[in-house]
């Protein structure tokens, strides 16, 4: 029991820069208090002292603001930061080294008996206000962004954001050295937010714009070929479509502005539309 407590205190020091000393953690961290009481209520639940387990769980919620059902299974080094408003359902399963922020719900979507709450793998971070609903699996190393609503499984190492949630990819692919250095330094991504995660909607629109430019150029070549063969002059004038891209991060916006500035210094070119 004391070894588990030492692990809990150590993980708080690692993940919360506001933690100053052990006494402060033991006396003023409601997330730690909720986890410690859950171990008691979970033991009572496993030995069929259901009423007593629920009463103690209710008192813990009143004191800490964290509601953990006694039937939930929680692994080692589990950290609830701030704690207020966290709800963990009866059949939820949480792996080792997971982090939850305030307002997180691991809830169910059915009134049927059986497995109806999420399963979190190891090293999962769920950001503030996120809702993970149903008997889905959030695989090892996954991240759930703040205020996301997750109703579908999240694969290992992925980040889910939005309502309903969608998966995002790293904006910098193949840069494993920087990612590993950050992981070794912090141990987790605060609030499930990654700095190199672009907006997937902006990415999809940018891909469509690139495709439109290619199609437009092909259409131009086809029109010129038809003009050359038939000698007819086409009267339809298409509006010009300048190159554009939607920025989803501050870094991308700065890059786009510098590219536009460089392009304005170049001599103008015509596509011959």
What confidence score (pLDDT) does residue 98 get? 93
CA distances from 203 to 148, 154, 167, 225, 251 (A): 19, 20, 12, 34, 14
What confidence score (pLDDT) does residue 73 get? 95
The pTM of the full predicted model, rounded to 2 decimals, is 0.66
Query: What are the chain's domains?
Result: 2-192 (2.160.10.10), 200-265 (no CATH)
Listed as ranges, residues in the chain with pLDDT below 50 are 170-175, 178-179, 182-183, 185-188, 269-273
Residues classed as catalytic: 102
What confidence score (pLDDT) does residue 192 get? 59
What confidence score (pLDDT) does residue 225 get? 78
- Write out pLDDT tens, residues 144-160: 998 999 999 999 988 99
């Amino acid at each position: 029991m004391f070894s588990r407590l030492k692990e809990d205190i150590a993980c708080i020091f690692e993940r919360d820069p506001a933690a100053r000393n052990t006494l402060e953690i033991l006396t003023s961290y409601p997330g730690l208090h909720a986890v410690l009481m859950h171990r008691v209520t979970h033991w009572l639940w496993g030995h069929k002292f259901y009423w007593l387990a629920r009463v103690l769980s209710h008192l813990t919620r009143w004191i800490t603001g964290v509601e953990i059902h006694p039937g939930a299974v929680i692994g080692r080094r589990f950290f609830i930061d701030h704690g207020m408003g966290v709800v963990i359902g009866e059949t939820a399963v949480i792996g080792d080294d997971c982090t939850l922020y305030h307002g997180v719900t691991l809830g169910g979507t059915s009134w049927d008996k059986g497995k109806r709450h999420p399963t979190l793998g190891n090293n999962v971070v769920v950001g503030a206000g996120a809702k993970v609903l149903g008997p889905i699996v959030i695989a090892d190393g996954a991240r759930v962004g703040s205020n996301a609503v997750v109703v579908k499984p999240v694969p290992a190492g992925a980040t889910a954001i939005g309502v309903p949630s969608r998966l995002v990819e790293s904006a910098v692919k193949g840069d494993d050295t920087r990612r590993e250095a950050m992981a070794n330094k912090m141990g987790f991504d605060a609030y499930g937010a990654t700095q190199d995660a672009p907006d997937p909607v902006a990415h999809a629109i940018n891909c469509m714009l690139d495709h439109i430019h290619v199609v437009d150029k092909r259409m131009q070549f086809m029109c010129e070929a038809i003009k050359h063969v038939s000698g007819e002059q086409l009267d339809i004038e298409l509006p010009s479509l300048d190159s554009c891209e939607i920025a989803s991060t501050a870094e991308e916006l700065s890059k786009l502005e510098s590219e536009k500035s460089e392009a304005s210094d170049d001599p103008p070119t015509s596509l011959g539309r």
